[in-house]
């Protein structure tokens, strides 16, 4: 925040200046977070935003020890929800009516879809067409579409359209799919194929166009509040399921706009009463002109004045951002200044409405957060968060209307704006076909890997989500997996030995050095998190101390002090869990601290332990191995057969049980518990490598054999006969069969004779090999 920064120092003119974190009440953080507008599936942009905030919340609570009251809203009253709900409702109703028709794919339906497609096309390509096309002229739209298709053959033209409108590819694909389906449906209808399936396929291909057309024709007739409420409720439930899958904790307090309408009306009345809002056209507008520079009251003897757009003063005149912040259904009737924004919107037919002193209407977008945050947290808060795209106008408008209502100079002490997410260097967009929902991402990566990726970038920087970075994440995860596996194996051995002392303290210089490195890592880790939640540095510190511990472990298990290793592993485990990377309980059934990620308990089975079901698979493997060893021993089998059986136990039976056996230099295998899928993957990769090597060897042998057979076949002809049959070139030969004269009876040149002798010698060598092979075969 600029200009009027009050806590923790008098002023900070730089908008991103780092300052000390001082809460209004010691040890308690009051935090309001802008939640989702629930009208569609949650995507990776949501994941980046809400997971970043979840990480910072956990750091403040679980590392620095603050009590965090985390409030988040659900926007369930919004223009996007209204439009989406109406279109979805009207499309379902339209299809339901077709289902009752005897001829669902009729000329009437074709005409209506043609009209809808025409309107969609003319709106989408208004700026791309050489000449304008009427929104109700299908023939002209067809001709225009042909022009667009022809122009689209020029890559430079397409790039120019994409630069002017990033949604151009999406519009092009929708128009193309709709037109193709429309022409097909016309042929089907002419041929008598008028069934429901054909009609549904036509509507599905043109659903965007038909939805817009229906909404324009019938949107005002949608009056049932359940239409809007049901859509929002469905996507709210979907959002929280996605967050649960990502291990993002639910807020301390959840608020919904629809539940705070009376408080919103009262809040707007308060702003009007203070003179910073006015009624116009049935709506209530915040007066930014009057607010800017208005003298504040109270707060000591010093004079102060209100400031509009504290976060992004350079965006004050950005008309595109201002209009986007008002919503597509907002009327500007009665609005005095371009920067003024709606506190209360007059509702038109087909829009949800609640009673108010200004007539039936609904809240503006910005007012909802001010009201709900004030209702739960009071007149101010420590932290307010959201995506960076909310800074202006949403958060700046929140600040203005809240400071106007509360008559305060600083409503929020700290704003946290999470950075944008890009996909492979490009902005995520359906038009670019790189739109990834959270469900899509979780099919390819685990929640832990996604969180690890977000931890690897600063929370307020742009994050480029790409496959190469995810490979780096998986490599780092493998390093930690191997480390935890080795430590757990050593822990099991240490328990089995259970010797109080062997007379040696095992605390030499190597142990002192490692503990000193651990202490340095812990201090550096704290410094990183104190530095505006620098998680990339903090994460690297964890990986570095693991690397140093691995070097220590390489001395061999007889040469290490397990207590020192345990100290490192427990701290690393605790920090990873603090970041939200852990699973299940931090302690096992015996009350011991869990080393590593942990394991999530099955739902409903958190407290139950079935000893038989856990032990029986291992006991069966042991019993089966014993039976096979006895059979081999009693049959006098070779030692190699018994060794092969031990390999089978290691590589197959125990792999499926999640047990790894690592042969050691002292002849005793180290036992590790590893997820079976990891062991199977490693085993299968090793087997695949062996098969590949064998296949290459076999292919090389086959090629060599083919080459050998080819040589033998060439050697079948004796050298004395190889030139005699060629009477087209030669007319005389010596006793060895070498040509002496050409076809005309002339003596051959010496150079030609030398060349022929070389060929004769080579053939003799091949023929000798052939004869030798024949002797071998006959023997």
What does the pLDDT look like over 40-62, one tens digit per residue? 999 999 999 999 999 999 999 99
Co-location of 517 and 445 in the same domain: no
Element (H, E) at 427: strand 426-427
Co-location of 619 and 742 in the same domain: no
Number of domains in the chain: 5
Co-location of 310 and 403 in the same domain: yes
Co-location of 474 and 541 in the same domain: yes
Distance of alpha carbon 47 from alpha carbon 769, whole angstroms: 73
Mean pLDDT, residues 323-334:
80
Distance of alpha carbon 757 from alpha carbon 723, whole angstroms: 11
| Interacting residues of 80 by C-beta distance below 8 A, sequence separation 6+ | 37, 39, 327, 328
Co-location of 45 and 145 in the same domain: no
Mean pLDDT, residues 445-454:
96
Is residue 696 included in any domain, yes or no?
no
Is residue 764 pLDDT above 60, yes or no?
yes
Strand partners, 256: 74
Co-location of 174 and 246 in the same domain: no
Q: What angle do CA 564, 570, 573 make, to 5 degrees?
A: 140
| Interacting residues of 546 by C-beta distance below 8 A, sequence separation 6+ | 479, 480, 483, 568, 572
Mean pLDDT, residues 469-494:
90
Is residue 432 pLDDT above 70, yes or no?
no
What does the pLDDT look like over 102-136, one tens digit per residue? 999 999 999 999 999 999 999 988 888 878 888 78
Co-location of 384 and 513 in the same domain: no
pLDDT band at 2 (very low <50, low <70, confident <90, very high): very low
Co-location of 431 and 481 in the same domain: no
| Interacting residues of 234 by C-beta distance below 8 A, sequence separation 6+ | none
Predicted confidence at residue 490, as pLDDT, reads: 85
Predicted confidence at residue 46, as pLDDT, reads: 95
Predicted confidence at residue 10, as pLDDT, reads: 37
Q: What b-and-e string marks burial along 415-430, b requiring 16 or more CB atoms within 10 Å of the CB?
A: bbbbbbbbbeeeebee
Predicted confidence at residue 606, as pLDDT, reads: 44
**Secondary structure (DSSP) of 240-253:** HHHHHHTTPPPPSE
Distance of alpha carbon 569 from alpha carbon 597, whole angstroms: 11
What does the pLDDT look like over 283-297, one tens digit per residue? 999 999 999 999 988
Distance of alpha carbon 285 from alpha carbon 278, whole angstroms: 5
Is residue 67 included in any domain, yes or no?
yes
Co-location of 382 and 297 in the same domain: yes
Predicted confidence at residue 385, as pLDDT, reads: 97
Predicted confidence at residue 316, as pLDDT, reads: 87
Is residue 663 pLDDT above 60, yes or no?
yes
Residue 554 DSSP symbol: T
Place of tokens 């520079």: 293
Instruction: Report whether 161 contacts 168 (CB < 8 A).
Output: yes
Residue 670 DSSP symbol: E
Is residue 257 pLDDT above 90, yes or no?
yes
Q: What angle do CA 213, 219, 220 make, to 5 degrees?
A: 140
Mean pLDDT, residues 251-264:
97
Is residue 4 included in any domain, yes or no?
no
The two most distant CA atoms of the chain are separated, in Å, by 130
Instruction: Report whether 253 contacts 71 (CB < 8 A).
Output: yes
In this prediction the pTM is 0.78
Predicted confidence at residue 551, as pLDDT, reads: 93
Is residue 545 included in any domain, yes or no?
yes
**Secondary structure (DSSP) of 702-760:** HHHHHHHHHHHHHTTS-TTTTTTT-TTTEEEE-TTS-EEEETTSPBPPHHHHHHHHHHH
Place of tokens 């890009």: 422
CA-based radius of gyration for the chain: 39
Look at residue 35 and give its three-state secondary structure: coil
Domain around 620: 612-674
Co-location of 92 and 190 in the same domain: yes
- The tokens describing 179, both together, are 């037109």
Is residue 354 included in any domain, yes or no?
no
What does the pLDDT look like over 610-662, one tens digit per residue? 455 576 677 777 877 888 888 888 888 888 888 888 888 888 888 888 888 88
Co-location of 623 and 765 in the same domain: no
User: How many other C-beta atoms lie within 10 A of the C-beta of residue 229?
Assistant: 16
| 108-122, 353-367, 519-533, 731-745: range with lowest mean pLDDT | 731-745
**750 to 27, 745, 747, 762: CA distances (angstroms):** 106, 15, 9, 19
| Interacting residues of 151 by C-beta distance below 8 A, sequence separation 6+ | 128, 157
Place of tokens 């009027």: 4
Is residue 300 pLDDT above 80, yes or no?
no
Is residue 345 included in any domain, yes or no?
no
What does the pLDDT look like over 678-729, one tens digit per residue? 888 888 888 888 888 988 998 888 888 888 888 888 888 898 888 888 888 8
Distance of alpha carbon 675 from alpha carbon 11, whole angstroms: 54
pLDDT band at 181 (very low <50, low <70, confident <90, very high): very high
Mean pLDDT for the chain overall: 88
Strands across the sheet containing 361-363:
277-280, 283-286, 341-346, 361-363
**308 to 146, 283, 319, 325: CA distances (angstroms):** 49, 21, 16, 15
What does the pLDDT look like over 235-246, one tens digit per residue? 999 999 999 999
Distance of alpha carbon 36 from alpha carbon 387, whole angstroms: 10
| 7-21, 244-258, 741-755: range with lowest mean pLDDT | 7-21
Distance of alpha carbon 663 from alpha carbon 667, whole angstroms: 7
pLDDT band at 431 (very low <50, low <70, confident <90, very high): low
Distance of alpha carbon 78 from alpha carbon 487, whole angstroms: 53
Is residue 226 pLDDT above 60, yes or no?
yes
Look at residue 532 and give its three-state secondary structure: coil
Place of tokens 């427990």: 570
User: How many other C-beta atoms lie within 10 A of the C-beta of residue 571?
Assistant: 16
Distance of alpha carbon 307 from alpha carbon 408, whole angstroms: 11
Instruction: Report whether 404 contacts 306 (CB < 8 A).
Output: yes
Instruction: Report whether 467 contacts 453 (CB < 8 A).
Output: no
- For 531-655, where are the alpha helices, taking DSSP H only? 535-553, 562-578, 611-634, 639-648
Instruction: Report whether 762 contacts 723 (CB < 8 A).
Output: no
Element (H, E) at 255: strand 253-256
Predicted confidence at residue 9, as pLDDT, reads: 45
Query: C-alpha dihedral over 215, 220, 225, 231, to 10 degrees?
Result: 10
Distance of alpha carbon 227 from alpha carbon 83, whole angstroms: 11
Place of tokens 């229906």: 214
Co-location of 265 and 403 in the same domain: yes
Percent of all residues in the chain with a pLDDT value above 70, rounded to a whole number: 93
Predicted confidence at residue 12, as pLDDT, reads: 36
Look at residue 637 and give its three-state secondary structure: coil
CATH number at 67 reads 3.40.50.620
Distance of alpha carbon 616 from alpha carbon 85, whole angstroms: 54
Is residue 622 included in any domain, yes or no?
yes
Predicted confidence at residue 630, as pLDDT, reads: 83
Q: At what angle do helices 562-578 and 509-530 cross, to 10 degrees?
A: 10
Strand partners, 25: 28
Strand partners, 29: 68
| 7-21, 222-236, 309-323, 343-357: range with lowest mean pLDDT | 7-21
Is residue 604 pLDDT above 50, yes or no?
no
Q: What b-and-e string marks burial along 177-199, b requiring 16 or more CB atoms within 10 Å of the CB?
A: ebbebbeebbebbeeeebeeebb
**Higher-scoring residue by pLDDT: 340, 677:** 340
Percent of all residues in the chain with a pLDDT value above 90, rounded to a whole number: 56
Is residue 22 included in any domain, yes or no?
no
């Amino acid at each position: 925040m600029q200009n009027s920064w009050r806590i923790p120092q008098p002023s900070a003119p730089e908008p991103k200046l780092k300052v000390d974190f001082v809460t209004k009440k010691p040890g308690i953080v009051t935090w309001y977070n802008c939640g989702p507008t629930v009208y569609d599936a949650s995507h990776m942009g949501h994941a980046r935003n809400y997971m970043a905030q979840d990480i910072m919340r956990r750091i403040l609570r679980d590392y620095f020890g603050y009590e965090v009251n985390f409030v988040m809203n659900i926007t369930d009253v919004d223009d996007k929800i209204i439009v989406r709900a109406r279109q979805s409702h009207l499309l379902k109703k339209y299809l339901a009516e077709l289902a009752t028709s005897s001829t669902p794919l009729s000329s009437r339906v074709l005409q209506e879809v043609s009209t809808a497609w025409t309107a969609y096309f003319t709106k989408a390509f208004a700026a791309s067409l050489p000449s304008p096309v009427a929104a109700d002229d299908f023939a002209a739209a067809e001709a225009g579409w042909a022009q667009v298709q022809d122009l689209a053959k020029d890559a430079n033209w397409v790039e120019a359209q994409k630069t002017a409108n990033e949604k151009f590819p999406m519009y092009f694909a929708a128009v193309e799919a709709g037109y193709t389906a429309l022409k097909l449906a016309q042929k089907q209808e002419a041929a008598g194929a008028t069934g429901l399936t054909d009609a549904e396929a036509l509507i599905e291909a043109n659903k965007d166009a038909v939805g817009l057309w229906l909404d324009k024709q019938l949107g005002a007739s949608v009056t049932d509040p359940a239409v809007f409420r049901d859509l929002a409720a469905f996507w709210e439930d979907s959002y929280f399921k996605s967050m649960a899958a990502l291990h993002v904790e639910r807020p301390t307090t959840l608020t919904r706009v629809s539940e705070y309408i009376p408080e919103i009306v009262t809040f707007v009345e308060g702003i009007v009463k203070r003179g910073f809002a006015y009624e116009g056209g049935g709506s209530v507008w915040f007066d930014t002109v009057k607010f800017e520079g208005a003298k504040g009251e109270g707060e000591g003897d010093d004079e102060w004045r209100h400031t509009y757009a504290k976060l992004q003063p350079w965006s004050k005149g950005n008309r595109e951002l201002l209009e986007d912040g008002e919503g597509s259904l907002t009327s500007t009737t009665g609005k005095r200044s371009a920067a003024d924004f709606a506190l209360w919107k007059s509702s038109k037919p087909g829009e949800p409405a609640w009673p108010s002193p200004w007539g039936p209407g609904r809240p503006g977008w910005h007012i909802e957060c001010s009201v709900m945050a004030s209702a739960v947290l009071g007149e101010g808060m420590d932290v307010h968060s959201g995506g960076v795209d909310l800074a202006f106008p949403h958060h700046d408008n929140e600040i203005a209307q809240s400071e106007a209502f509360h008559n305060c100079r600083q409503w929020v002490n700290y704003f946290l704006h999470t950075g944008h997410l890009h996909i492979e260097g490009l902005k995520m967009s359906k038009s670019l076909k790189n739109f990834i929902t959270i469900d899509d991402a979780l099919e390819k990566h685990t929640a832990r890997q996604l969180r690890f990726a977000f931890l690897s970038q600063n929370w307020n920087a742009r994050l480029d989500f790409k496959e190469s970075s995810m490979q780096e994440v998986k490599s780092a995860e493998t390093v930690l997996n191997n480390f935890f596996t080795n430590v757990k194996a050593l822990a099991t051995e240490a328990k089995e030995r259970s010797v109080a002392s062997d007379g040696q303290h095992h605390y030499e210089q190597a142990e002192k050095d490692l503990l000193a490195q651990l202490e340095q890592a812990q201090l550096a880790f704290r410094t990183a998190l104190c530095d505006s939640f620098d998680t990339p540095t903090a994460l690297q510190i964890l990986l570095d101390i693991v690397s140093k511990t691995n070097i220590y472990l390489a001395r061999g298990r007889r040469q290490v002090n397990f207590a020192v290793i345990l100290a490192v592993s427990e701290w690393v485990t605790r920090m990873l869990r603090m970041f939200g990377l852990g699973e299940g309980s931090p302690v096992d059934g015996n009350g011991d601290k869990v080393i590593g990620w942990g394991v999530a308990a099955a739902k409903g089975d958190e407290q139950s332990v079935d000893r038989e079901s856990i032990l029986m698979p291992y006991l069966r493997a042991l019993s089966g191995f014993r039976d096979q060893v006895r059979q081999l021993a009693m049959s006098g089998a070779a030692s190699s057969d018994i060794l092969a059986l031990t390999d089978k136990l290691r590589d197959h039976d125990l792999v499926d049980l999640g047990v790894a056996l690592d042969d050691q230099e002292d002849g005793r295998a180290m036992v590790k518990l590893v997820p079976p899928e990891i062991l199977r993957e490693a085993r299968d990769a090793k087997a695949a490598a062996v098969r590949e090597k064998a296949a290459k060897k076999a292919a090389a042998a086959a090629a060599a054999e083919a080459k050998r057979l080819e040589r033998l076949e060439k050697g079948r002809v004796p050298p004395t006969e190889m030139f005699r049959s060629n009477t087209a070139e030669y007319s005389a030969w010596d006793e060895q069969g070498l040509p002496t004269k050409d076809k005309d009876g002339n003596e051959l040149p010496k150079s030609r004779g030398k060349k022929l002798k070389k060929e004769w010698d080579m053939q003799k060598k091949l023929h000798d090999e052939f004869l030798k092979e024949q002797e071998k075969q006959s023997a």
